[in-house]
Structure 1
C-alpha cells in the first residue's frame, strides 16, 4: 500500500482519506439549499427564490456533496434531479428541517407578535378565491409573518415537501391530518358564451351536453374530470366530450369567453362574467352542492407560532 509523509509520520493513504473526510465541514444551510434546488427544479430557480446567484447555489451544493462524500444531484444542461442518495436524504431532510424551523420560530412566543413563514400548498381555485383573500387580511394583522402559497392540484406529501398545511376539496384526508373547513360549500356553474350558443344551441339537460363541445379538464394525475349534476333527487354524472382539453380553471374560463365550448367552473370564476353578459349560465336547476375546501395540517407535528396564529385566524371566520 502506498505511504506518504504527513507531520513527520507515515500514514497509509486510506487512513488519510478517512481523516480528511472527517474534517470536512457540514453546513446546515447547505442542506436547506439542497432542499430548495430539488423543490424548485434547478439552480437558477432556487437562486431567484433566495436572491443570490446560481453560482453561489452551485458552490453550496458542491460543498455539501464534498462534505458528505457522495453525489446528491445529477446535473445536465437542462435539468437537475436527485440521485438515489439525494432522494434518500431528501425523504429525511424535509421533516427534519421543518422541525428546526419550528423550534426557531417557537421563540416568537417570547415576542409580542408571531413571525416567520407559513407555506401552504393549494389547488388554483382554492388559492384564487379563498386562501389568497384570507392571507392578504391575515398579513395586515401580522406584519412579521410571511405567507407562501404554492398552487398545485397534485396530491403530495406536505410534510415531505416542507409545507405547513395543504388545501384539498372535501375532507377525505389521511388519518394523521387535522382538517378544518376553509370557506362555504361549493357549486359548479355550466357556462358558454352567447356566440357559442347562437351557433350550437342551448342544452336542456345534462345529457344534452354530450352533443356539445365541452371544455374538458385533465388533472395532474392524468384522469379526466367528470361533471356531476343533481335535481329533485336525481343525480347525473357525465364524462364530457370536446376538442379542447386544459389543466386550469383560468384557461377554461378564457376558452369559454372565446366561444370555444361549454365550461364547467366554480361559481367564483364566472359570477362577474354572467352578471356582465360575457357568458350565460346553463342548467342552473341542476346545480349540485359540494363540500367546501378544507385546510389540513399534520396532527403529530408541533405547529410554528406563525402557523398557530393563522389557524386561529381561520377558526374565527364565518362562512
Structure 2
C-alpha cells in the first residue's frame, strides 16, 4: 500500500531514495522497493540535490543516469549507508536477544559471597553475554558510569532505582571466637563493647562505621575501637575467627562459623534487622534482553522464599582474603 513520504531536514534525508534510484536507474522501481510513490522519490532526490548544490541524476523520459557528482556521491554514500544499516542491525540484535556486554557495579565483599555462583551459571546459560564486574567499595552512579545494574545493601538503593531482592532481610550479628570470649567477659549490653577489641569497617566515604543496635525498638549507634580496620566483611570474618576481636557482620555471612562452633553470637537481643541485598538498575521503559536475562537468572536461583541466601564457608572466606 502506497503511503505519503515526508522528508525531514537532515544530513541523511533523501540518501536512501538516492541509493535506490542509483541501484535500479529507475524512480519507479525505487519507489516500489521503498513502498512509496514515484513522485515522493523524485521529491526526496530533488531536495537532496538542492541541499548538496549539484545535480545527481541525468533524467530523460526513457532513462536515468548518474552525473559525475552523482557517481562521486554514490561512491562515498553507499558504503557509509550500508555501515549505518549494519549498525542498526547490531543494535536491533542486542534488543532482541541476550547478547553484548553486561556491566555490573558490585561491592567487593559481595563478589565471593553472592555473585560468583550466579555469574558462573549465568555465563554458561548465556554464552553471548560478556559480564564485566566492577568491584569497588564506592557507590557509583550507575547511569552516569554506564553500568547496566548494581548490587547494593537495601539501605543504599536510591529511590529512583528498580530493586530486585537477592537475599531476605538479615540481622547484623556481633560475633567472636570461643578463644576470645574465654579471655574476655561476654558483653551483656551494647555499652559493654567499649571494654572490648572490636573489628571495624571503613565505609566507602572514608568514615568508620558505627555499630548499630536495636534497644527495645529504639535504634542506637555506638563508636567502638579495636586492633583492625577493614573495608570488607570477609576480612573481618577471618579476623574474628582467629580471635582478634569481636565483629559486627551480616548474620548469614557468619552462619557457617556459628554452626561449626568457630564463632559465638553475643548481644543477640540487640541485633538490628537490615533490608537485605538487592540487584538494582535505573528505571527504564525497556530493559535490554541481557539485563532481563540476568534478572530472571537471579530469580531462578533463589530459594523457596524467592531470595538467594548468602552462605559461605567461614574458613574459606578468611583464607580467600589472606591469600
Identify whether the pair has TM-score above 0.5, normalized to the shorter chain.
Answer: yes
Gaps of 5+ in 2: 1-86, 308-323
- Once residues 102 and 295 of structure 1 are traced to their aligned partners in structure 2, the CA distance between those partners, rounded to angstroms, is 30
The residue that corresponds to 1:278 in the other structure is: 262
1:152 to 131, 136, 139: 136
Larger Rg: 2
| Partner Cα separation in structure 1 for residue 231 and residue 181 of structure 2 | 24
Secondary structure of the 1:278 match is coil
1:196 alignment partner in structure 2: 180
Instruction: Name the counterpart of 2:291.
Output: 307
Compute the displacement of 1:196 (Å).
1.3
**8 Å contact kept, 1:153–1:219:** yes
Partner of residue 26, structure 1: none
Q: CA deviation at 1:146?
A: 2.6
1:256 and 2:240 equivalent? yes
1:121 CA drift (Å): 0.8
Partner residue of 2:165 out of 178, 181, 185: 181
Match of 1:66 in 2: none
1:238 partnered with 2:229: no
- What residue number does 1:128 align with? 112
The equivalent residue for 2:206 is 222
Superposition TM-score, scaled by structure 1 size = 0.61
Aligned residue for 1:168, secondary structure, equals strand
Say whether residues 1:107 and 2:93 are aligned partners.
yes
Confirm or deny: 8 A CA contact 2:137 2:231 kept in the other structure: no
C-alpha distance in 1 between matches for 2:293 and 2:185: 52
Aligned residues: 217
Q: Post-superposition shift, 1:214?
A: 0.4
- For the 8 Å contact 1:117–1:146, the answer to whether it is kept is yes
> Is the CA contact 1:124–1:249 (under 8 Å) kept in the aligned structure 2?
no
Structure 1 residues without counterparts, runs of 5 or longer: 1-100
Post-superposition CA distance 1:92-146 (Å, at most 9, x none): xxxxxxxxx9984540455xx5222211111134333333333333333323323
Check conservation: 1:114, 1:309, Cα contact below 8 A.
yes
Cα shift at 1:302: 4.9
TM-score normalised over the length of structure 2: 0.60
Residue pair 1:102, 1:303 contacting (<8 A) in 2 also: no
